[in-house]
Amino acid sequence: MDYFAHETAVVDKGCSIGKGTKIWHFSHIMTDCVIGEGCNIGQNVVVSPGVVLGSNVKIQNNVSIYTGVTCDDDVFLGPSMVFTNVINPRSAVNRKNEYAKTHVGKGASIGANATIVCGHDIGKFAFIGAGSVVTKNVPDYALVIGNPAKQTGWMSEFGHKLKFDADGKAFCTETKEQYQLKNGTVTKLG
């Protein structure tokens, strides 16, 4: 076993768990999910069947990741955030064949207590503010906050708000890497 699982964690048969991953207290990793290398899965986390997580994914305590969710490398999932997988759930109606997919792009961060309504993708390096309710797709590098979540700006790959000049150029305050805003799309230059 190339990963660590706390003695109170439950890891079902049929999972693929990458080298160096850590699974903490009272978490449940369900069958047929794929977890990459170097992930950190906090306390009381549920990873449902068929979920796919890339490498270096950080999942804080009390997070539910339901069937239909995929996360690329370097995704951060804040404390008590939640994904959904059915648009119109009813206790008496079985809708397992109606699960809507959600994809979270490389390096995206989802803040504490945020909710991601199923069927909406989160772009790479996007930043979802704490408590936000995402009800539509989020572009790469976008900063969204509120309920429903609305875009209020753009973020660098290091998590700093970008301030674009008249030419549509901005620099990350930490790394000095340059970004371009053109036709509503941000790209990192160089």
* 101 and 64 part of one domain: yes
Same domain? 177 vs 121 = no
**The token pair that represents 36 in the structure block:** 């990459």
Percent of the chain clearing pLDDT 70 (strictly above): 100
Domain CATH for 47 = 2.160.10.10
User: Are residues 167 and 90 part of one domain?
Assistant: no
Average pLDDT estimate for 53-58: 98
Q: Is the pTM of this model over 0.85?
A: yes
**What strands lie across the sheet with 185-188, from one edge to the other?**
169-171, 178-182, 185-188
The range of the structural domain enclosing residue 176 comes to 158-190
- The reply to whether 142 and 61 lie within a common domain is yes
User: How confident is the model over 5-54, as pLDDT tens digits?
Assistant: 999 999 999 999 999 999 999 999 999 999 999 999 999 999 999 999 99
* Mean predicted confidence (pLDDT) in 121-145: 98
92 shares its domain with 186: no
The four Cα atoms 18, 20, 21, 25 give a dihedral, to 10 degrees, of 140
Structure tokens at 21: 């991953």
Strand 150-154 and strand 142-145: the pairing is antiparallel
Is 92 in the same domain as 114? Answer: yes
Q: Tell me if 143 sits within 8 A of 129, measured CB to CB.
A: yes
On whether both 130 and 184 belong to a single domain, the answer is: no
8 shares a domain with 46: yes
The tally of domains found in the chain comes to 2
